[in-house]
A and B are shown apart, each in its own frame.
Chain A
Amino acid sequence: MNVPCNRIALLGGIYSNYLALEVALRDINYRGVDAIYCLGDLGAFGPFPDRVFPLLDEQGVQCIQGNYDHSVGHALDDCQCGYTDPRDNYFAQKSYDYTLKNTSDTNRCYLQHLPKQRQLHFGRHRVLLCHGSPRRVNEFLWESTTTDHYLDVLLDDLEIDCLFATHTGIKWKRDLNAGRRFVNVGVLGRPENDGQTCVWYTLVGDHGSGPVDIEFVPVHYDHRRLAREMKGEGLPEAFQQTILTGWWTTCLESLPSKERKKGRF
């Protein structure tokens, strides 16, 4: 697909955080972009999973399928998040059962048919959008456990200049050989385990020469309302605390030590 434009917006996992999505889309419209993409995991963690779909539809956001979308779409038994710790899986299952139960058949059908990846020609750049990695939908590409040469070989094999992913929940970027780039676009669904309550999306610009320009954009939204709504829906107290404090309380065992040390727990 050719995208004749010079700026696109990339949204990572939304995790049912429709309040942050509303603010992000307003901000994107104000700034002006040529296309908006979401890299998957529309549901999870937050309340009222059906509320994100009309927002995405109104703005023509083009989505790809995350592991959660695949699971919900096909009504599988679990979210396939890739956690291996019993406590992480306990909370992941609570969240998944709620999301599956509260996602309409129409929206499940939509999730089921989402593409797994998208290739774009963005200006002169060959771009791939994926969820976890091009190899595995639930692969975690953390900054402290992903080598330069791992990314270089991936981009070589795929014959692309830019690779964008999400899934880990923490944004980062790396410059690679020959002006190529890898970017984890972060997520809108929950804060980054740094004590801030904002969430993030990514703007990608093309200036006609040089590598693509990356801007991580903070999204400040009514996180207290989200936490209240999560409580009202009976979602775990531990999830509400993450929204209110900006520190992760679950999914900690998948974090490598450098990322884990930046958090409180």
Chain B
Amino acid sequence: MGLTSDSTPTGLRVALKQLEHLWFQVAGTRCNLSCHHCFISCHPANHSFGFLSRAQVQRQLKDSVAMGVKEYYFTGGEPFLNPEMVPILIETLEYGPATVLTNGTVLRDSWLQQLVDAELQSRYSLEFRVSIDGVSPEQNDPIRGEGTFDRAMEGVTRLARFGFLPIVTIARSWPLDKEDHIVEVFADRLRRAGCDRPRLKILPMLQLGAEVTRSGPYAEGDRITEEMLVEFDRSQLICDHSRIVSDRGIHVCPILIESPDSLLGENLAEADRSFSLEHGACWTCYQHGAICSNPSQGK
């Protein structure tokens, strides 16, 4: 076993092969909701990470050209709490495809009209990912807050009315043998809400942040080992091809921003460093793969 200077087994380190997906923690940790499973504990008063300004995003977009970035993603917190979110997305569509992860509860028609126009003028896709965590208020609201199911469904309907095809993401909170039924029921409900081509993405729970209080932290054994990486396709790991920009700098991935070792540098060039897969969340990423990119993920 080889060791690096910080005594991390070299076999557990993953280099950035190519920066293909660039993420922005555009709303910091500010959110209008306080979901019990949020892996970075976002809520209305969480200011540990701040908003990114339009100028900050633009600087990174410019830098990303030389790196050959393929897709851009925006997350928070709730991105649309950032007062510059709409112009940020409009500018991003001049560079490439943009995906924004929203809870769907604060969208306004005037914003969506501007974004429809921007997407029409762009050669690139604008994707909305809306988080809902159950097929009914009874399933969703205990996790995301009273009334949030109906409000998020209104957001989905609103997006569909403007011609978008939102991807609805659900964190898996049910036994696997119930998944087919749940997906079927939910797709039907989305159709009835006006979303005639429902796109669903199921996410694994991450035992980080607020979710630790709900279901407990990762066990000590929930870690990747060097043996597990032998002949493993590392492109399944987000750190193989992604980085995320926050108001503190560039981190390795959207899941681990609260971990001090996730901060790799102040700019994209500095963040071209390997990262050690020592976190429980790395184990989830290893098990499920592609948890952060757009296509839906089956069981």
Contact = CB atoms under 8 A, between A and B. Distances in A.
Q: Do A and B come from one complex?
A: yes
Contacts of A260: 165, 197
Nearest to B166: A257
B16 to A, nearest CB: 13
B180 A144 contact: no
A234 interface: no
B65 A256 contact: no
A59 interface: no
Interface residues of B, number: 34
Interface string B175-210: 000001001000000000000010100000000000
A179 interface: no
Contacts of A145: 70-71, 96-97, 124-125
Q: A interface, by DSSP: helix, strand, loop or mixed?
A: helix
A84 B296 contact: yes
Interface string A148-161: 01101110000000
Q: Give the bracket for the number of chain A residues in contact with chain B.
A: 20 to 34
Contact of B295 (A85, A144, A259): A85
Contact of A84 (B18, B197, B290): B290
B298 A257 contact: no
A86 B180 contact: yes
Nearest to A142: B125
Q: B interface, by DSSP: helix, strand, loop or mixed?
A: loop
A60 B45 CA distance: 68
Interface in A127-143: 135-136, 143
Interface string A74-114: 00000000011110010000000000000000000000000
Nearest to A157: B68
10 nearest A-B residue pairs (beta carbon) = A153-B68, A147-B96, A86-B298, A144-B125, A150-B70, A256-B125, A84-B295, A145-B97, A149-B65, A258-B125
13 contacts: A83-B295, A84-B298, A85-B298, A86-B299, A136-B235, A144-B124, A145-B70, A147-B69, A153-B68, A154-B68, A252-B197, A253-B296, A257-B126
